[in-house]
Amino acid sequence: MSTNITNETVAAMLTRLTAESGKTIEQIATELGYQSPNPFRLMLDGTVKLPIAQIPVQAQVLGCESGRLLRVALDEYMPGVVDVIEECLEVTYLTEQERRLIDDWRGQKHTTA
């Protein structure tokens, strides 16, 4: 069964990423193409869901992995759908950190063999 890999809501994740970015809400809203910061503010407080189609650009503007943001959004908005996608496509989402750990492990395995 799929579990939220960050234990954060989308709103909490967006709020944290906004703070970590060092950008103002207005700057982020402008980079996202909004005429006003209000739509982004509504996502930050959880009143409005983050549109799935906007995840790549949101992730880029906020400096996070798009796959991680997508996973958190899908887990919150459509529980269980990630499990179905992974099963049907025979893939498992890995974070960048998890991929690096696997690559490091593979590299160590080749040097010791």
Residue 2 has what pLDDT? Answer: 46
Range of the domain at 15: 10-112
**Helix 81-89 vs helix 66-77: crossing angle, to nearest 10:** 120
Q: In which residue ranges of the chain is pLDDT below 70?
A: 1-6, 109-113
Please tell me whether the overall predicted TM-score, pTM, comes out greater than 0.85 for this model. no
Alpha helices in the chain (DSSP H): 10-21, 25-31, 38-44, 55-62, 66-77, 81-89, 96-112
Let me know if residue 40 belongs to a domain.
yes
Let me know if residue 5 belongs to a domain.
no
Number of domains comprising the chain: 1
For residues 13 and 6, is the Cβ–Cβ distance under 8 A? yes
Residue 89 has what pLDDT? Answer: 86
> Residue 37's domain is classified under what CATH number?
1.10.260.40
Residue 83 has what pLDDT? Answer: 87
